[in-house]
């Protein structure tokens, strides 16, 4: 998949690994008992931070966010599933004192010691960098090494991304169309470097890049051994500081095997990411899941079942996403 130096890992390869940037310190819980809990979870409850303790507690109980929200409603507490997702990923923090009742209800549902999560609410994680930097974990062709070494696309803020993936009747990813909205962080940027990595078995030499509105194709380099494709998208002018620009492009790469889904990596925060996958009606998937994980090597911390409609479309929207890997996982019969 093509990526703004950052690319999905399923059909497209997404850019960059998160920088970590979250504090590992917390407020001690005053010697509170954590008997019966795994040592790792007990340690996190004692020292924090809040989002990690919440995530580990949810994982220990084996609850989906939808089930957790339903249990909270039985306790008389109304909270959005997206809010729970943001809390456990460290993207947002419970507001004091308004959210204390909700946090106490979480302790009850997750069978945690009283005040164990409440004691961590007062400790906020360190802020992430204000502007995302897109990098690619995939090896890039040598011709682009100098560009990425100095930080590709660093003069552009990525405001939103919309990926549309078409999957054919042989379960193969056929094309990925990406539309981006960017803003110039300073005067001068006139191009965007994107990277695509094909699915297993992809013959990247046969892949095509079709620029859409707002750009034209510049240099293109291929790395068949890594199924990698790097290319420049040139704007028609240099952007002024603060100027917003919309552009799109499509990568046609239909020679890979059954696609495992599409994931995009965000190193920093992005306001909105919409991912849509369109399947052939002749071959629908057995299961699709909306997924978020802190980095490519970690298991998903936010897993949600998605419904593939009769038309063969499945969609996932991520608000204030990143840092981390967001996408849709696909399973076949």
pLDDT digits (tens, 9 = 90+) for 41-88: 888 888 788 888 898 899 888 889 889 999 999 989 998 888 888 888
pLDDT of residue 35: 55
Span 139-174, pLDDT tens digits: 444 544 444 434 578 888 889 999 999 999 999 999
pLDDT of residue 95: 83
Span 290-318, pLDDT tens digits: 999 887 777 877 788 999 877 899 999 99
Residue 22's nearest CA partner among 119, 128, 106 is: 128
In CATH, the number for domain 39-121 is 1.10.260
The whole-angstrom separation of Cα 275 and Cα 81 is: 19
The whole-angstrom separation of Cα 77 and Cα 80 is: 10
| Domain ranges in the chain with CATH number 2.60.40 | 142-331
Residues whose CB falls within 8 Å of the CB of residue 35, separated by 6 or more in sequence, listed in order: none
Residue 198's nearest CA partner among 180, 176, 177 is: 176
Answer with the residue of higher pLDDT: 22 or 105: 105
Residues whose CB falls within 8 Å of the CB of residue 89, separated by 6 or more in sequence, listed in order: 51, 55, 292, 294, 301, 302, 324
**What is the per-residue burial (b if ≥16 Cβ within 10 Å, else e) of 100-116?**
eebbbbbbebbebbeeb
| Domain ranges in the chain with CATH number 1.10.260 | 39-121
Domain spanning 142-331, CATH class: mainly beta
pLDDT of residue 19: 30
Q: Are 124 and 112 in contact (CB under 8 A)?
A: no
The rounded mean pLDDT for the chain is 79
Which tokens hold the place of 239?
């952007």
Report pTM. 0.59
């Amino acid at each position: 998949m093509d990526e703004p130096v950052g690319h999905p890992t399923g059909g497209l390869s997404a850019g960059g690994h998160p920088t970590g940037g979250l504090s590992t310190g917390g407020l001690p819980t005053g010697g509170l008992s954590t008997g019966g809990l795994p040592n790792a979870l007990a340690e996190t409850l004692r020292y924090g931070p809040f989002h990690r303790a919440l995530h580990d507690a949810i994982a220990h109980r084996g609850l989906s966010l939808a089930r957790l929200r339903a249990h909270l409603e039985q306790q008389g507490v109304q909270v959005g599933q997206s809010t729970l997702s943001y809390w456990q990923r460290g993207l947002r923090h419970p507001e004091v004192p308004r959210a204390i009742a909700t946090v106490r209800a979480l302790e009850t549902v997750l069978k945690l010691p009283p005040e164990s999560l409440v004691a961590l609410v007062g400790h906020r994680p360190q802020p992430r960098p204000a502007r995302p930097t897109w990098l690619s974990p995939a090896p890039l062709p040598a011709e682009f090494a100098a560009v990425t070494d100095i930080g590709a696309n660093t003069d552009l803020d990525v405001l939103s991304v919309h990926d549309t993936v078409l999957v054919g009747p042989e379960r193969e990813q056929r094309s990925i169309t990406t539309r981006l909205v960017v803003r110039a962080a300073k005067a001068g940027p006139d191009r965007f470097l994107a990277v695509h990595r094909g699915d297993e078995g992809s013959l990247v030499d046969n892949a095509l890049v079709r620029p859409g509105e707002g750009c034209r194709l510049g240099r293109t380099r291929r790395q068949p051994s890594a199924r990698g494709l790097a290319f420049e998208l040139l704007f028609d002018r240099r952007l002024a500081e603060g100027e917003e620009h919309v552009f799109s492009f499509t990568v046609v790469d239909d020679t890979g095997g059954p696609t495992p889904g599409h994931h995009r990596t965000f190193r920093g925060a992005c306001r909105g990411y919409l991912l849509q996958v369109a399947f052939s009606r002749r071959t629908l998937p057995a299961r699709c899941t909306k997924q978020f994980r802190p980095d490519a090597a970690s298991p998903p911390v936010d897993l949600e079942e998605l419904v593939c409609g009769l038309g063969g479309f499945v969609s996932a929207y991520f608000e204030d996403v990143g840092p981390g890997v967001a996408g849709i996982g696909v399973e076949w019969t």
